[in-house]
Structure 1
Amino acid sequence: MSLLKHTSTIAGFTVISRIFGFVRDILLARVLGAGLAGDAYQLAFTLPNTFRRLFAEGAFSVAFVPMYSRKLAGEDGEADAARFADDVLSVFIWILLGFSALAMIVMPIIVYGLASEYQSVPGKFELSVLLSRVTFPYLFFISLVAMLTGLLNARSRFAPGAIAPILFNIVLIGGIVGGYYWRGNSGDDRFVVYALSAAVSLSGLVQFIYLWWAVRRAGLKLHVRRPKMTPEVKQLGMVILPATFGAGIYQISQFVDTFFATSLPQGSLTLLKMADRLNQMPLGIVGIALGTAILPMLSRHIQNGHADRAHWLQSEAFETATLLTLPAAAALAICAPAFVTAFFVGGKFTIADGQIMAQITMALVAGLPAYVIVKILNPGFFARSDTRTPVYTALASLIFNIALNLYVVSRYGIVGLAGATAASATFNCLLLYIVLHRRGWFHFSAQLGSRIFRQLIATAFMSALLWWMMGWMMPYFSDDILTRIAALTILVGGGLFTYFAIGYSVGAVDRDRINRLLRRNRLTETANQQEN
């Protein structure tokens, strides 16, 4: 029940964040479209955002949270954990400052390495360098946010870390609106991306202030002292280095994809990033929520020698992930033209842009279940302080991804690139499971396999309905705003009802768990009524 509770808390706030993020992307598409300024901004945002996912929320979190959790569970408890956190912060903050300063100095080299083709378009390379320098301070602030979030997550306080991205999206929406009015009738999109890039760094500061307040409110006090490489800090560093690669195959692939996308026609990078935002909706809500909730709980079970509970926890997470991502992937693949047309097409975002974005989305979501399941399988290694194995699987998947890109990009363009990303994520997922299974740390039970098979049955019925509905509803998605809303409501509502109705009837959903939740809710309501 605690996994469901914590996952629901994170997922609930993440849904709100994704809604704001969706509004942000719709505004961005219509205000900028897929052109020179849009590509320059997407590249500038990709740099700090990918480093954030790779180091701060990826390697650092999976290394720091288990170590901090073990400190809390040790003999000295709070005192030992507080010393460890202070030591890490005192070293971490200077590393971040140094790395950020160095990156901003050598930014022209970094941009050239990722997008040398931008030099062939007058002004595009220079604009990309400038915007990248403006956005990069975001990495400093958001890395500190990741540490503060880790402190709270280890204490099962998941809400503040899930609320922070909401603040991020609100600030960026403000940047887009401010840039739009600053541009006025000039038609110069640089005003928009200047304001938006500044908003990126400002959002990092806003999130840091909020998380610092949340940590203090939780009764924790952090101190920045003279940096000192204690044995524990050195151990954390030794875990972070391989974990950076092992936990970040998706983020590393983003750099690879960016490199290939910048060699394609102008607007390709913008369309890829926009399509990935749609893909990130269920990935963020389900994958991040489950991955964040499972790591500290899994670490405690393993630390206490409860191997059976650890296996049960991962099985529960796996079942929940497939329950939600299988229908999400199928629905996004089938309904991508509807979503893109209804939400994004308009302003500077043309119908042709929408058609390409829909095709990219279809290719990306083929790997959606794998993206999420990797976030469940990786903690099985990190909670046992095994960071080497994910490195090996990530390296194999990255090589596989590059080889695929070399073959498909020249033949199928940006859509082929998206398909290669999905295939490499699936390959990485399979490798991780094979190793976990062979070591006896996690394996498919007959019950789990049966449940997933029934989920596939429900997904098939839902897909058939959506395919039929898309055949006659497509014209309505480009009509007036009220018609679009009504058509999308019918489409989404029909798909959800069909999936869960069929899923419940065939046993894809755990009926006993639902009945227990309903019974618990009824008891809670009764108790509240009696108190009143």
Structure 2
Amino acid sequence: MIRSILSVGGWTLVSRGTGFLRDVVMAAVMGAGPIADAFVVAFRLPNHFRAIFGEGAFNVAFVPTYAGLDGAGAPGAAKAFADRVFTLMLLVQVLVLALALPLMPAVVRALAPGFADEPEKFALAVALTRITFPYLLFITLVTLLSGILNARRRFAAAAAAPVLLNLSLLVALGLAFLFPNAAYAAAWGVAVSGVLQFGLVLADARRAGLAPALVRPTLADAGMRRFFRMLGPAVVGSAGVQIAMFADTIIASFLPTGAVSALYYADRLYQLPFGVIGIAAGTVLLPEMSRRLAAGDADAAHAAQNRATGFSLALSAPFAVAFLLVPDLIMAALFQRGAFDAQAAARAGSVLAAYGLALPAAVLIRSIVASFYARHDTRTPVMASLTAVAVNVALKVVLTEPLGVMGLALATAAGVWVNVLILFALARRRGWTAPSRTLIVTACGVLAACAALAACTLGGLPLIERLIPSLPRFRELAVLSVLGLTGLVAYAATLLAALRLFGVRLRRV
């Protein structure tokens, strides 16, 4: 299972790496002004709907059902189920697209009401969203095909598909001179990438003989009924998370220009470890636990969960420490060039620090929630998610006035921790999770390694800044690189020493 996590994580790392390059180019070309704000809204809107109806809800309903039919159902039952779901999703997405395009001004006004006071920015956001919205249709089908491939332990194509989004955007930004402005170029890059990603995963599914066919959809069979029983609560749960993200955009649209962009760039760095580690572990763990529970082996399912949890925690913790201790240096080193000035870097840095508080919980939640989804329980995560969203949104209202855009991120961190603590408490009480001794030892080792990393960062930064001379460009990047390398050595050495002391090997947590 660790090999599969590394495979997914490796491709996700490539995706996040190219995504980082994409964001650096976007920041330099568009900065953090009105054009960037309008594009961020246009980019977020189809992704919000994808997270509600596609990636979030769909995976937790489809993957366990498909894996169960594939492992214990009649021959061909899983294929017939996938065919029906594929056809139904295609019809639904075509209908959503037909309704959304003419109503886009109302949709944008609902998502970013603060833009209504700036007619030019509002009109640009509407035009850009009409270009990006068809991305939703293709990426939803990509999610379905990825679920089929993942259930059969074929992870590479699905994990590699997001790379095409980044490459498409980079090419589009390189051709920005052909468009009215860079935001139009980026929007077309998003739309084209949906087609490219769909083509990639469809080709892999065909090679494996898993490509679904168009059939007459029906709800009459047991697999479809089980799918929809799980999908309903999962949609509500995913919608709850997206409500909090909608609230971010809505409130940020009323803040001074650049707040929406600050959230975006900080979130992109926050999503790097979350996507590479948390999502990779969750992607592999859910079908793994589903298969083992279907076979009646709960102990093996819990062992798989412990391995994924320990691995995720060890790899994500140093990012959280860095985000908390040197957020301004990170943003300045990575983004401060071109139209992205020092003020924009400082604003985004404050948001990144707040996201650092959320990162450990955000990574671990993907492993903990598998306890419920693998047992076909989507209702409990919904209740936990909605409780967390209530806390999140309430804190956004309270914290935004005194803290500005940083308050939005702090509220997000609080909501994520509420969610993960509720889920862990309920899973523990039901006997659906069983942390092992080695997992507890690993967690203690990670805490000790984080303390060593913090000491190395705080003590080493002044020294490194004195040793590295003033450079006309990229001094911050040089300082960050040296600091990151020394911190990595300190963290890894401390963690490995702690694990060795108690006879624990990380890959066998």
TM-score, length-scaled by structure 2: 0.95
Which amino acid is the alignment partner of residue 238 of structure 1?
R
2:25 to 24, 27, 37: 27
Per the TM alignment, residue 84 of structure 1 is displaced from its structure 2 partner at its CA by 0.8
Which amino acid is the alignment partner of residue 497 of structure 2?
S
Instruction: Tell me the residue number matched to 1:495.
Output: 487
Mapping of residues 427-438 of structure 1, within 5 Å = 427-438=418-429
Q: What's the secondary structure of 2:421's corresponding residue?
A: helix
Instruction: Tell me the residue number matched to 1:182.
Output: 178
Per the TM alignment, residue 340 of structure 1 is displaced from its structure 2 partner at its CA by 1.1
CA contact (8 A) 2:2 2:507 kept: no
Per the TM alignment, residue 382 of structure 1 is displaced from its structure 2 partner at its CA by 0.9
Once structures 1 and 2 are overlaid, which stretch shifts more, 270-279 or 218-227?
218-227
Per the TM alignment, residue 510 of structure 1 is displaced from its structure 2 partner at its CA by 8.4
Separation in structure 2 between the aligned mates of residue 397 and residue 286 of structure 1, nearest angstrom: 22
Instruction: Tell me the residue number matched to 1:524.
Output: none
Instruction: Tell me the residue number matched to 1:393.
Output: 384
Separation in structure 2 between the aligned mates of residue 477 and residue 224 of structure 1, nearest angstrom: 63
CA contact (8 A) 1:458 1:508 kept: no
Which amino acid is the alignment partner of residue 493 of structure 1?
L
Matched, 1:200 2:200: no
CA contact (8 A) 2:173 2:185 kept: yes
Separation in structure 1 between the aligned mates of residue 239 and residue 314 of structure 2, nearest angstrom: 24
Once structures 1 and 2 are overlaid, which stretch shifts more, 506-515 or 278-287?
506-515
Matched, 1:226 2:216: yes
Identity %: 36
Per the TM alignment, residue 310 of structure 1 is displaced from its structure 2 partner at its CA by 1.1
CA contact (8 A) 2:499 2:506 kept: no
Instruction: Tell me the residue number matched to 1:339.
Output: 330
CA contact (8 A) 1:31 1:348 kept: yes
Residues 449 and 34 of structure 1: is their aligned pair in 2 closer, same or farther, counting only changes over 3 Å? same
Instruction: Tell me the residue number matched to 1:300.
Output: 291
Unaligned runs of 5+ in 2: none
1:57 to 49, 55, 62: 55
Separation in structure 1 between the aligned mates of residue 115 and residue 328 of structure 2, nearest angstrom: 29
Separation in structure 2 between the aligned mates of residue 396 and residue 98 of structure 1, nearest angstrom: 32
Separation in structure 2 between the aligned mates of residue 226 and residue 346 of structure 1, nearest angstrom: 54
Instruction: Tell me the residue number matched to 2:161.
Output: 164
RMSD over aligned Cα atoms: 2.0
Mapping of residues 53-452 of structure 1, within 5 Å = 53-77=51-75, 79-179=76-176, 181-182=177-178, 191-231=181-221, 232-247=223-238, 249-452=240-443
Separation in structure 2 between the aligned mates of residue 510 and residue 246 of structure 1, nearest angstrom: 39
TM-score, length-scaled by structure 1: 0.91
Separation in structure 2 between the aligned mates of residue 49 and residue 275 of structure 1, nearest angstrom: 17
CA contact (8 A) 2:310 2:506 kept: no
Residue deviations 1:417-448 (CA, integer Å, cap 9, x gap): 11110111011000000110111111434432
Mapping of residues 10-49 of structure 1, within 5 Å = 10-49=8-47
Per the TM alignment, residue 222 of structure 1 is displaced from its structure 2 partner at its CA by 2.1
Per the TM alignment, residue 484 of structure 1 is displaced from its structure 2 partner at its CA by 4.9
Separation in structure 2 between the aligned mates of residue 291 and residue 346 of structure 1, nearest angstrom: 35
Separation in structure 2 between the aligned mates of residue 177 and residue 129 of structure 1, nearest angstrom: 23
Per the TM alignment, residue 354 of structure 1 is displaced from its structure 2 partner at its CA by 0.6
Separation in structure 2 between the aligned mates of residue 303 and residue 411 of structure 1, nearest angstrom: 51
CA contact (8 A) 2:307 2:507 kept: no
Which amino acid is the alignment partner of residue 182 of structure 1?
L
Instruction: Tell me the residue number matched to 1:523.
Output: none
Residues 316 and 514 of structure 1: is their aligned pair in 2 closer, same or farther, counting only changes over 3 Å? closer
CA contact (8 A) 2:135 2:193 kept: yes
Per the TM alignment, residue 473 of structure 1 is displaced from its structure 2 partner at its CA by 4.0
Q: What's the secondary structure of 2:443's corresponding residue?
A: helix
Residue deviations 1:99-141 (CA, integer Å, cap 9, x gap): 1221222222221112111111131111111111110000100
Separation in structure 2 between the aligned mates of residue 221 and residue 200 of structure 1, nearest angstrom: 24
Q: What's the secondary structure of 1:220's corresponding residue?
A: coil
Residue deviations 1:159-212 (CA, integer Å, cap 9, x gap): 010110111110011111211x336xxxxxx51111111110110000001111
Once structures 1 and 2 are overlaid, which stretch shifts more, 477-486 or 375-384?
477-486
Separation in structure 2 between the aligned mates of residue 248 and residue 511 of structure 1, nearest angstrom: 43
Residues 506 and 54 of structure 1: is their aligned pair in 2 closer, same or farther, counting only changes over 3 Å? same
CA contact (8 A) 1:397 1:428 kept: yes
Separation in structure 1 between the aligned mates of residue 102 and residue 43 of structure 2, nearest angstrom: 17
CA contact (8 A) 2:13 2:276 kept: yes
Residues 514 and 125 of structure 1: is their aligned pair in 2 closer, same or farther, counting only changes over 3 Å? closer
Per the TM alignment, residue 488 of structure 1 is displaced from its structure 2 partner at its CA by 3.0
